[in-house]
Amino acid sequence: QVQLVESGGGLVQAGGSLSLSCAASGRTFSRYAMGWFRQAPGKEREFVATISWSGVHTYYADSVKGRFTISRYNAKNTVFLQMNSLKPEDTAVYYCAAGSTGAGDYYIFEGVGYDYWGQGTQVTVSS
């Protein structure tokens, strides 16, 4: 089992920045790809960003590319999402997720590929 706890959400004006963190506990964090997803009211959950267990490989949704950066610090079992130039359409509950990749070092961008999910943190961007 892997437990995930997100933090860092809040209210910010358009153009501002927020940094989300996801702390993991339980099984070996470093052998998991990590991802961030979000869900806005009345919309389906959507992929935001993902990172391989080594941190070398990352992938972003087109809607956040160039504005968001995913990173991880395996020694502290933590993954981060730095969000810059925020827009009102970024408003959502943000979830982190962990997916086992075994001996492979790759990212996962499909939600079904993840084994564990956090409870989410609210991000609200005002115009």
94 — pLDDT class (breaks 50, 70, 90): very high
**Predicted pLDDT at 1:** 83
**Residues 9-49: tens digit of each pLDDT:** 999 999 999 999 999 997 777 789 999 999 999 999 999 99
125 — pLDDT class (breaks 50, 70, 90): very high
The DSSP line for the chain is -EEEEEE--EEEETT--EEEEEEEEES-GGGEEEEEEEE-TTS--EEEEEE-TTS--EEE-TTTTTTEEEEEEGGGTEEEEEE-S--GGG-EEEEEEEEE-TT------SGGG-SEE---EEEEEE-
**Residues 47-84: tens digit of each pLDDT:** 999 999 999 999 999 999 999 999 999 999 999 999 99
